[in-house]
């Protein structure tokens, strides 16, 4: 993720040049700026906006880039309220823009002043298509899921555009080590600090320094104390020791995992410090092409208990996530969704995140909303004879029929309306990232 730093100035360039004896710096081909105590020897400008060339409806940028499967894309306001995101793929800086979830997304790449424009654009397109798995047409699978599963049939059509990313395994591995007992916002903050401290500078665009994700070697050369100073806490030891272990393996050790089986990958990853089965499954799913893998934590357990109880066996809410329970839930998802169970599970997880609640139709809220959207309630009228509630919203009227039962003792009870509406609006924070 990009971090905003001080802008390049003429005085900074002159001072940096004198201090480092960079007398041969000329023109825009090698602009040198002193930022954060280091020299940035490259600046760039954006290319024109170009179509990503994924069919409309099959790529929803916000649903894909902010649902907790990756943490390196910064969401920023765009022109005319478009969703716009800035991120780094390898050594290139890209932006993605989308006017609405069902529209064709656009992208552009930052071009170094000294480089060939067309070469950079061509390379960025290839990388972006790989990252987004652009060759995967999910429409047939999604229709099958929607026809056989009530959850998917209730989702808005643009949820079919939540794509499963194909990430760099090094960045993915260290990102999910940081996810332990953490939530998306804090994970993103920690990874920003790691990138700032240890990442290699790429270029300055619009006064912002963009950096690559740290290499294994740079993290291995750090110290636990330095990592703790970035807010990693007990995870600092995991990051440092795992980086040291990987630095003693062949250069393409993690990249070659694509050729291995799920069992082999899981066994190898779980030997590294800070990686248990759930983290190993996240890494496998998001960076090692194991699309059938379903990472399970307590949040996913609740989704399974709520919607797929008939597929997971005799599991109760009070049970801990033992290996047996983990296997039951993972196997249950595969029995429903098949070889792309991990992709389907990622869509279900996204739908349960608070930030996507307003995208869901009313029937996805845990009451019987007959029509309309999950807009904010501002007025309520009750008809006592039918127990019908009419909720006026800015967009349209929503009818809510309250007929709730207390199943524990078999006695029908009417729940106070204020309690029902409060539950609808109360946000829940998913502590897992997937």
In tens, the pLDDT along 310-341 reads 888 788 777 788 999 999 999 999 999 999 99
User: What pLDDT is stored for residue 362 in this prediction?
Assistant: 56
Residue 7 lies in a domain: yes
For the entire predicted model, the pTM comes to 0.75
Q: Both 122 and 65 in a single domain?
A: yes
Closest-CA residue to 240 (of 293, 178, 301, 185): 178
Which domain does 131 fall in, by range? 44-135
Report the distance separating Cα 397 and Cα 390, nearest Å. 7
Residue 76 lies in a domain: yes
Residue 391 lies in a domain: yes
Q: Which pair of structure tokens corresponds to residue 223?
A: 């110290």
Residue 240 neighbours by CB under 8 Å, 6+ apart: 219, 220, 222, 223, 224, 227
The segments of the chain whose pLDDT lies below 70 read 1-41, 77-81, 116, 361-434
Q: Both 27 and 80 in a single domain?
A: no
User: What pLDDT is stored for residue 361 in this prediction?
Assistant: 63
User: What pLDDT is stored for residue 19 in this prediction?
Assistant: 35
Residue 370 lies in a domain: yes
Q: Both 15 and 64 in a single domain?
A: no
Q: Are 40 and 7 in contact (CB under 8 A)?
A: no
Which residues are the active-site residues?
278
Last residue of a domain, one of 135, 166, 186: 135
Backbone angles phi, psi at 27, to 5 degrees: 60, -165
Indicate the number of domains in the chain. Answer: 3
User: What pLDDT is stored for residue 357 in this prediction?
Assistant: 82
Closest-CA residue to 94 (of 140, 63, 130, 41): 130
Report the distance separating Cα 331 and Cα 329, nearest Å. 5
Residue 313 neighbours by CB under 8 Å, 6+ apart: 328, 332
Question: How many other C-beta atoms lie within 10 A of the C-beta of residue 192?
Answer: 19
Domain at 73, CATH number:
3.30.310
Residue 321 lies in a domain: no
Closest-CA residue to 155 (of 383, 346, 283, 286): 346
Q: Which pair of structure tokens corresponds to residue 148?
A: 């056989």
Q: What is the DSSP letter of 356?
A: G
Last residue of a domain, one of 135, 158, 176: 135
Last residue of a domain, one of 135, 157, 183: 135
User: What pLDDT is stored for residue 151 in this prediction?
Assistant: 86
Q: Both 52 and 121 in a single domain?
A: yes
E strands within 3-138? 3-4, 33-35, 38-40, 44-46, 50-51, 74-77, 83-89, 92-98, 106-112
Q: Both 32 and 56 in a single domain?
A: no
Q: Both 28 and 48 in a single domain?
A: no
Report the distance separating Cα 223 and Cα 207, nearest Å. 30
Q: Both 50 and 23 in a single domain?
A: no
């Amino acid at each position: 993720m990009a971090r905003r730093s001080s802008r390049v100035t003429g005085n900074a360039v002159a001072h940096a040049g004198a201090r480092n004896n960079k007398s041969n710096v000329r023109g825009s081909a090698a602009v040198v700026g002193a930022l954060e105590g280091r020299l940035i020897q490259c600046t760039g400008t954006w290319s024109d906006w170009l179509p990503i060339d994924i069919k409309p409806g099959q790529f929803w940028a916000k649903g894909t880039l902010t649902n907790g499967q990756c943490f390196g894309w910064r969401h920023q306001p765009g022109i005319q309220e478009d969703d716009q995101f800035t991120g780094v793929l390898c050594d290139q800086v890209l932006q993605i823009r989308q006017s609405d979830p069902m529209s064709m997304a656009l992208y552009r790449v930052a071009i170094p002043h000294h480089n060939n424009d067309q070469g950079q654009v061509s390379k960025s397109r290839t990388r972006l298509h790989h990252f987004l798995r652009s060759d995967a047409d999910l429409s047939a699978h999604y229709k099958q899921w929607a026809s056989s599963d009530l959850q998917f049939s209730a989702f808005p059509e643009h949820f079919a555009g939540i794509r499963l990313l194909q990430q760099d395994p090094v960045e993915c591995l260290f990102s999910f080590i940081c996810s332990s007992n953490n939530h998306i916002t804090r994970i993103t903050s920690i990874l920003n600090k790691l990138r700032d401290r240890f990442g290699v500078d790429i270029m300055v665009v619009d006064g912002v320094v963009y950096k690559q994700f740290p290499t294994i070697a740079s993290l291995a050369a750090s110290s636990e104390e330095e990592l703790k100073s970035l807010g990693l806490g007990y995870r600092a030891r995991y990051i440092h020791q795992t980086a040291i272990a990987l630095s003693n393996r062949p250069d393409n050790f993690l990249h070659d995992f694509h050729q291995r089986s799920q069992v082999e990958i899981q066994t190898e990853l779980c030997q590294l410090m800070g990686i248990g089965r759930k983290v190993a499954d996240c890494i496998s799913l998001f960076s090692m092409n194991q699309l059938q893998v379903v990472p399970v934590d307590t949040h996913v357990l609740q989704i399974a208990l709520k919607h797929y109880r008939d597929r997971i066996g005799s599991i109760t809410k009070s049970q801990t996530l033992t290996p047996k329970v983990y296997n039951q839930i993972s196997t249950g998802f595969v029995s429903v969704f098949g070889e792309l169970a991990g992709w389907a599970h990622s869509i279900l997880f996204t739908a349960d995140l608070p930030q996507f609640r307003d995208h869901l139709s009313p029937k996805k809220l845990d009451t019987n909303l007959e029509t309309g959207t999950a807009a904010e309630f501002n007025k309520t009228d009750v008809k006592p004879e039918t127990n019908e509630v009419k909720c006026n919203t800015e967009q349209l009227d929503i009818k809510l029929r309250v007929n709730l039962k207390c199943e524990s003792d078999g006695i029908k009870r009417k729940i106070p309306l204020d309690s029902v509406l409060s539950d609808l609006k109360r946000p829940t924070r998913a502590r897992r990232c997937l």
